[in-house]
Chains A and B, each alone.
Chain A
Amino acid sequence: MTRRAVITLVVCAVLLVALPWIIGHEFYINLASQVLIYALFALSVNMMLGFGGMVSLGHAGYLGVAGYACILLTTAGYDQLTAAIAALALSTVAAGVFGVLSLRAPGLGFIMITLALGQIVWGIAYRANNLTGGDNGLSHPARPMPFGIDIRDASSFYYFTLVVFAVALFFIWRFARSPFGASLTGTRDQPRRMRMLGHNVWLIRWLTFVLAGFWGSVASLLFVYYNLYLSPHALALQQSAEILLMAILGGASTLTGPIIGAAIITLVKNMVSTYVERWNTLLGLIFVIVIMFMPYGLVPGCRQLWQRLHSRQKGKAANAAPEASP
């Protein structure tokens, strides 16, 4: 890592830790927790999208599997930790099965199968009244007490979310730079060549699918702990699409892009909607404008812009010098 990257990272970390003091108001602290939860969703879907070139429209399905499992187990009397671990395990196994089904077809077929799987989970949540409460949804009894720490109030829950997010981000960051990550981007760009180089393309994709499902499930648990409630609306197609849009808006080829995208979309959704009735239109407008001018998303786009400005300044300086050629 370069010195500048370390400084940026430290500044971001300090800002995130100090955030509750800076913003103070409970509403905004809760909003920050939401941003982190969605950022983790977007990061996990981006493991497939950005590094593997696999567009999934069923990511909210994990919210269904992990979320309902966690609530049902806790309600059934299991302690929070057991419920959380069991929910994660179940949801990751589900990701394994979904992966086998989805990876039967490449490209458009993959999108449609993930879409269908997400809709099946939604449909079960909606129809299985006895289990999921149908349209009424289910309440989660209470937030857990990790290591005996109370996370009921806004700022302590924010810190809990921040810790989980930081751990996840670290793992995903390592993943992106690992030999496996390199193999994955290889399968995105040249699957045929990768096979001819000895890589098992299917297995690389499937493992990524499962890992993305795991981190999506972690985000799902945070989502349930935050809302203390889950209904089929939360796992509708709109949710999957929004998560995907976050990653694309911020820049799917980068690690930070999905985080930025999640922040923008969550903030617009929650803050602008109090002033503007047609906030969905605004969201669409932002999306169209960004994609028009920065087709690879905000983070790569801004980076490019910065480089261009930088080189122009350098160019000016060079032009000012007498010996420089135009």
Chain B
Amino acid sequence: MNAPALAIAGLSKRFGGLPATKDVSLTVMPGERRLIIGPNGAGKTTLFNLVTGDLDPDGGSVKLFGNELIGMPTQRRVHLGLARTYQILTLFPRETLMHNVVLALLGLDRLRWDPWSVLTGHRDLYAAAADALDKVGLGDRAGRVVAETSYGERRRLELAMALAQKPKLLLLDEPLAGLSQGERQAVRNLLDAIPRDVTIVMIEHDMDTALAFAERITVLHYGEVIVEGTRAEVVADPRTREVYLGD
């Protein structure tokens, strides 16, 4: 059997005395679309930060296609096929959209160590970046500086940067946050178009989109997995209603 795309086992993280992640275990199979939900402060983003290496766990294991990630610096995990988008936009505001994607492409290219050649002379790099921007519908805005673009465009740029890296596992942290209804639909279509060789784990509060997108759902509450299963199972589970869907 194939190794799971993401296998988390017994993962724990405390901030001071406060447990943010409590003995979390979950397995995501290759090609799966997994949704993680839970009320504010449930530890969803902390879980992402543990997977990417922004935070070190107090214990447990995270495996990406069988490779243990814990103890490995973030950039090495990225080279193994991990990519993420941020809930709070983390872009290069003074640079053009094109340059943002070029930096994403450089991250996985040996060229990034070259202190001699002129960056803008690498036509193939810019062609690939233009292609990535086209895919999210930003092709005509490639030369614009991030600071001069709309919030919705920046959300799509986040996605373009992650997808340009052709990741195996993509972590999406609220990709629809703060978007208008029309923009939501556009991003939803983009997400649907991502090929199945990319495994996706998504945190999202927009239930319409999230439930339609995900095959399996994990519910986190106070850092613990309380329910996990298919869409129907999770929605029907009384514990889900209790902590998340509320009354």
Question: Which residues in window 129-188 of B have CB below 8 A to A?
Answer: 161, 165
Once bound together, how far apart are the Cα atoms of A189 and B53, in whole Å? 20
Residue from B75, B78, B103 within 8 A of A182 (CB atoms):
B103
A198 engages B107 (CB within 8 Å): yes
Which among A177, A180, A186, A198 has the highest number of chain B CB atoms within 10 Å? A198
Q: Is B116 an interface residue (CB 8 A)?
A: yes
Interface size class of A (residues with CB under 8 A): 20 to 34
Q: A182-B103, A183-B103, A190-B91 are in contact. Are A200 and B75 (CB under 8 A)?
A: yes
Q: Does A76 reach chain B (CB closer than 8 Å)?
A: no
Q: CA separation between A223 and B234, bound complex, in Å? A: 73
Nearest residue (CB) in A for B102 is A182
Please name all residues of chain B whose beta carbon is closer than 8 Å to the beta carbon of A200 when the two chains form the complex: 73, 75
- Which residues on B sit within 8 Å (CB–CB) of A181? 115, 119
**B118 adjacent to A199 (CB under 8 Å):** no
Q: B90 in the interface, Cβ–Cβ < 8 Å? A: yes
* Chain A interface, DSSP helix/strand/loop, else mixed: helix
- Interface bin, chain B: 35 or more
Shortest CB-to-CB span from B146 to chain A, Å, is 10
Whole-angstrom CA separation of A174 from B116 in the bound complex: 5
A311 to B165, CA, bound (A): 41
A189 CA to B106 CA in the complex, in Å? 16
Interface residues of chain B, those whose CB is within 8 Å of chain A, are 52-54, 73-75, 78-79, 83-84, 86, 90-95, 99, 102-104, 106-109, 111-120, 122, 161, 165
- A-B pairs with lowest CB-CB distance, top 5: A198-B107, A197-B107, A198-B78, A180-B115, A195-B74
Neighbouring B residues of A201 by C-beta, 8 Å: 75
A178 interface residue (CB < 8 Å to B): yes
Q: Which residues of A contact B161 (CB under 8 A)?
A: 197
Given contacts A179-B114, A194-B103, 17 further A-B contacts (CB under 8 A): A174-B116, A174-B118, A175-B116, A178-B114, A179-B109, A179-B117, A182-B119, A183-B103, A183-B112, A186-B103, A193-B91, A193-B92, A195-B53, A198-B75, A198-B107, A199-B106, A211-B115
Minimum distance in angstroms from A186 CB to a CB of chain B? 5
